[in-house]
Amino acid sequence: MRSIILANGSLLVALDGAGQVRDIYFPHVGLEDHVGAGMRHRIGVFVDGSLSWITDAGWRVEVACEEESLRSAITARNDAMGIELSFTDIVYNESPIFLRRIEAHNLTDRFREVKLYLGAEFSMYRSQGGDTGYYDPELPAIIHYKGERVFLISAEVGGAHFTDYAVGLSGIDGKEGTFRDAEDGHLSKNPVEHGTVDSMLSLTLELNAGETKTAHYWLTAGRSVKEAKELHAYLLHKTPEHLLATTGNYWKAWVTKYDWSFHGLSEKHIALFKKSLMLVRAHMDNDGGIIASADSDMLEYGKDTYAYIWPRDAAYSALTLDRAGDPNIAERFFSFCNRVIDEKGYFMHKYLPDGALGSSWHPWIKDGKPQLPIQEDETALVVYALAEHYRHSRDLEFIESLDNPLLEKAAIFMLEYRDPDTKLPLPSYDLWEEKRGVSTYTAASVFGALNAAADIASVLGKTERAEAYRTAATEVQEAIMTHLYDAESGLFLKMKTSHGEDRTIDISSVYGVFAFGVLPVDDPRLVAAFEKTADRLSASSPHTGIARYEHDQYYAVGDRPNPWFITTLWYAEYLIARAKTVDDLQPVIEIFDWVASHALPSGMLSEQLDATSCEQVSVSPLTWSHSGYASAVISYLEKLEKLGVCVACNPVP
């Protein structure tokens, strides 16, 4: 899990629960993680003849994020050593620079010499070996490079640059790493190494009793040594404190550009709303892709990471950005989609931030029969979100530029990719990526997308297309109620498969019917189905929260399926839509309380919670969890407007 994510669209740095750098993505957010599995940029303190790493026993580390800013606020205290460290970290908003301010405080009543040790190890291009690290005495700096990936590291205290350093081997030839060189309080000053390389630098602080001194550490990233050096010179010219201040000011301006009322919400709710918006933005690459998560820990224990663009997850994030008043950012995502959509009008499973096809476990053939390895709801969500984007932006030129290459292509695919008898979509994989069939959620998303495509076609004056899409949407709507709704149980099927009906109770089924308007929110069938589903899927956990579906075993320990943030927030969205009075919104506030109480101190939301311990599990942060929370808060504020509580609870046009 990651406790802090800092990014600017080209450089993303993730810190763990000890404040150590664990992921560095550059030059695309999510494409190349240059800190390999098991690697970390160590932080150590040498004082009174002994060295202690910040992960050793005796350290109490608290990782938080400043309010209204993507700047860390980390404290690490070791009472036995009499040392407290405070860190403020940023990724500079204008250039690929990671900067760390370190304040070292002497907790004792005597003078002491304290040495800070700051390590770095890389796996450039996600591969081991072939790296070079060297000390440049002119700057001074330590430079790591391989091909067009260069990272320059330097540090200073009181205007004096570091003088103690070592470059060495790590995990090769029996070498554990250069961090071992720090154990005696002196580094070897080995100036160069190649292969699998790490490095360590040291700063010496002379602290009187109770005194605090400030050091700065930074990393610049470039495609060449020249670029990395130019950024180093820029930082020295502007000064570290200037970059820290301007980055904080940038994020504050970005997240407070609208005067939200937040009527009835607590400080925790508001803080998490703002952090969620910033985290969604931080997971977006400058070329438009929005990755699911920058947390690479899964790579240590599994086959892959979440650092991909799932069109579904990313479309939900784009929807949230539009609703929060940032259509220019959302527009980049739709331009990305325009570049990667298949010529036949569908999106594949997932993509890399540069637009290349991502890894997948969906086969092109099963039981000897060819099949499309897609999740059709991903295609539908992009079209649906794009229509919502126009509603917020009113950017007719942008919509028209995507009409033929994206909207029309995808809409025709969804119109034609249907069973001629039932009129339902043909089989594809469900949104949970596990089962293939005709799921209620996918069918509902196709209904919503075809209506959305019809709306845009009407705006553009293409009436024949609009009528065709609208007719197909009506056919899908009727087919859902005919083939996927069970009147006897009052529930929607999870899906129909080649083997029959899957009656597993799944929150996505009824949520899809609600969210895409298959039934009106007050329709008795929808009301009964949603309440039955929510009741069944929340009873499995003593900590409330709603699971995805019955008997879900993903990351589950024992028989209880884990509650997810997004599924619980889906229920909040439904309750908001049904509310007739302010009192009806009290259960929504309780859900917001639940979400905020289970966020990390830094505001990070994972994918799910352990049903027994209620600890965060799977990746953290998950972009979808944060976009889901921010979207639910916006829905709540919009409902307050409709109830006449405030004139402009949501000030976004």
Does the pLDDT value for residue 298 go beyond 70? no
pLDDT tens digits along 47-84: 999 999 999 999 999 999 999 999 999 999 999 999 99
Residue that has been written with the tokens 């250069």 in this structure: 178
Q: What is the DSSP letter of 48?
A: T
Residue 451 tokens, joined: 């209506």
pLDDT score recorded for residue 309: 97
Surface-to-core class of residue 459, CB atoms within 10 Å of its CB (0-12 exposed, 13-18 middle, 19+ buried)? middle
Residue that has been written with the tokens 């739709």 in this structure: 334
Which residues on neighbouring strands pair with residue 141, listed in sequence order?
Answer: 136
Q: Provide the total of helices (H) and of strands (E) in the chain, helices listed first.
A: 16, 30
CATH top-level class for 4-254?
mainly beta
Does the pLDDT value for residue 448 go beyond 60? yes
Query: CA torsion sign, 599 to 600 to 606 to 609?
Result: negative
Residue-wise DSSP of 342-359: -TTS---S-B-TTSPBPP
Contact partners, residue 323, CB within 8 Å, separation at least 6: 392, 631, 634, 652
Does the pLDDT value for residue 17 go beyond 70? yes
Average pLDDT over residues 539-548: 79
Q: What percent of the chain has a predicted confidence (pLDDT) above 70?
A: 98
- Measured CA to CA, the distance from residue 75 to residue 171 in angstroms comes to 30
- Measured CA to CA, the distance from residue 617 to residue 180 in angstroms comes to 32
The 3-state DSSP class for residue 469 equals helix
pLDDT tier, 27 (very low <50, low <70, confident <90, very high otherwise) = very high
Q: What is the DSSP letter of 180?
A: G
pLDDT tier, 650 (very low <50, low <70, confident <90, very high otherwise) = confident
* CATH of region 257-642: 1.50.10.10
pLDDT tens digits along 459-495: 999 999 999 999 999 999 999 999 999 999 999 999 9
- Measured CA to CA, the distance from residue 288 to residue 296 in angstroms comes to 21
pLDDT score recorded for residue 558: 84
Does the pLDDT value for residue 301 go beyond 50? no
Phi/psi for 92 (5° steps) reads -55, 130
Q: Where are the domains of the chain?
A: 4-254, 257-642
- Measured CA to CA, the distance from residue 377 to residue 237 in angstroms comes to 50
- Measured CA to CA, the distance from residue 575 to residue 392 in angstroms comes to 24
Q: What is the mean pLDDT of the chain?
A: 95
pLDDT tens digits along 374-422: 999 999 999 999 999 999 999 999 999 999 999 999 999 999 999 999 9
pLDDT tier, 267 (very low <50, low <70, confident <90, very high otherwise) = very high
pLDDT tens digits along 36-46: 888 999 999 99
Helix axes 565-578, 586-597, angle to 10 degrees: 160
Q: Which of 477, 328, 494 is nearest to 398 (CA)?
A: 328
- Gyration radius of the chain over CA positions: 26
pLDDT tens digits along 567-607: 999 999 999 999 999 999 999 999 999 999 999 999 999 99
